[in-house]
């Protein structure tokens, strides 16, 4: 975008982002927005009211992500398993997702947010696809934050679709099966240019992936917060990021444990103190 992005609106209570060193801010946060139905039930409201309240929570989180300098945020808006819900709720969610994108895209565009869509086209309303694709085109040049809407998305479905596309390329002679590896498979995912997830956050106290960004979250740090999503805001995101920043990420590697000399071996202890190497200790003193 050519114009200066608009800053995010401030938190109503004046909350400010924590002072996390830039190198410890997660590059990509995955967000499972859970608890809308329970929030509504606890208030004697239909589930749809919980989803409506969740819209405001999500957009406050987006503001907080921009303030903290998070470059990528993925939001789980509708899963491949959500089709199992009642027909009335599915219809509401289809229309709601469509209308949220239409209603909010100008605001997101003005703040420099780039919108991407991950998910299957099958069964998804054409009007939802149209709004998602329009939002992608409108915001393609933005760079403040990439917001990935995961609509009709499932991690297993994404991997299966990638494997199917690879198999078709192998069958057509476009791909040598001996070249297939993790790096190559990644190129067949929905949004391969978006980096792997650093921080996986779920609201409502549930502690599971729920089939969200399974491949991308292989080395993600997991943070589960008890707050139901309609009560969630940027402060909860910041808290999760502080937890993330406090953790030691090793990606399967590890430093050797320092082992003090055994008190039963006084020669080795003395040599260690004098800086004498093990091979000198083991050398036959007779030459």
* pTM given for the model: 0.88
pLDDT at 285 over 50: no
Per-residue pLDDT for 281 more than 50?
A: no
Average pLDDT of the chain to the nearest whole number: 92
Quickly tell me which residue has 């590697």 as its tokens: 253
Residue 106: active-site member: no
Instruction: Verify whether residue 161 is a known catalytic residue.
Output: no
For residue 250, the model assigns a pLDDT of: 79
Confidence bin at 189 (pLDDT 50/70/90): very high
- In order, the DSSP letters of the chain are --SPPPPPPPPTT--------GGGS-SEEEEE---HHHHHHHTT--HHHHHHHHHHHHHHHHHHHHHHT--EEEEEEEEGGGGGS-HHHHHHHHHHHHHHHHHHHHHHHHTTEEEEEES--TTS-HHHHHHHHHHHHHTTT--SEEEEEEEEE-HHHHHHHHHHHHHHHHHTTSS-GGG--HHHHHTTSSSTTSPPPSEEEE-TT--S-TTSSTTTTTTPEEEE--S-GGG--HHHHHHHHHHHHTS---TT--PPPP-PPPTT-HHHHHHHHHT--HHHHHS-TT-
89-128, pLDDT tens digit by residue? 999 999 999 999 999 999 999 999 999 999 999 999 999 9
The three-class DSSP label of residue 59 is: helix
Band of pLDDT at residue 269, cut at 50, 70 and 90: low
Task: Give tens-digit pLDDT for 8-57.
Answer: 999 999 999 999 999 999 999 999 999 999 999 999 999 999 999 999 99
| Percent of the chain whose pLDDT exceeds 90 | 85
Provide the pLDDT for residue 254: 78
**pLDDT attached to residue 287:** 45
Which of 85-90's residues contact partners 24+ apart within 8 Å by CB, and which partners? 89/47, 89/48
What is the pLDDT at residue 261? 73
Q: Higher model confidence: residue 222 or residue 278?
A: 222
The whole-number pLDDT of residue 168 equals 98
Phi then psi for residue 36, to 5 deg, are: -60, -45
Angle between helices 87-110 and 47-68 (to 10 degrees): 30
- Out of 34, 60, 190, 198, the active site residue is 34
For residues 75-98, average pLDDT = 97
Q: Which residue has the higher pLDDT, 255 or 267?
A: 255
Residue 263 has pLDDT above 70, yes or no: no
What was the pLDDT predicted at 282? 47
Q: Which of 2, 13, 60, 82 is flagged as catalytic?
A: 82
Which pLDDT does position 271 carry in this prediction?
Answer: 56
Compute the average pLDDT of residues 254-258: 82
């Amino acid at each position: 975008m050519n114009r200066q992005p608009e800053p995010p609106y401030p938190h109503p209570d004046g909350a400010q982002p924590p002072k996390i060193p830039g190198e410890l801010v997660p590059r990509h946060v995955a967000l499972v927005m859970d608890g809308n139905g329970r929030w509504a039930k606890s208030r004697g409201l239909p589930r749809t009211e919980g989803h409506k309240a969740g819209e405001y929570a999500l957009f406050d989180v987006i503001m907080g992500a921009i303030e903290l300098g998070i470059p990528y945020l993925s939001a789980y808006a509708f899963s491949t398993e959500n089709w199992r819900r009642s027909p009335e709720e599915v219809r509401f969610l289809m229309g709601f997702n469509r209308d949220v994108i239409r209603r909010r895209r100008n605001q997101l565009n003005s703040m420099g947010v780039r919108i991407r869509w991950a998910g299957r086209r099958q069964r998804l309303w054409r009007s939802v696809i149209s709004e998602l694709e329009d939002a992608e085109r409108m915001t393609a040049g933005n760079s403040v934050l990439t917001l990935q809407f995961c609509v009709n998305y499932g991690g297993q479905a994404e991997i299966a679709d990638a494997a199917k596309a690879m198999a078709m390329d192998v069958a057509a002679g476009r791909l040598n099966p001996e070249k297939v590896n993790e790096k190559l498979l990644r190129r067949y995912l929905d949004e391969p240019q978006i980096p792997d997830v650093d921080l996986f956050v779920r609201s409502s106290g549930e502690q599971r992936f729920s089939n969200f960004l399974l491949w991308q979250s292989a080395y993600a740090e997991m943070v589960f917060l008890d707050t139901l999503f309609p009560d969630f805001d940027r402060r909860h995101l910041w808290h999760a990021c502080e937890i993330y920043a406090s953790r030691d990420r090793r990606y399967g590697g590890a430093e050797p444990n320092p082992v003090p000399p055994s008190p039963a071996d006084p020669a080795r202890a003395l040599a260690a103190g004098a800086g004498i190497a093990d091979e000198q200790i083991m050398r036959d003193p007779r030459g």
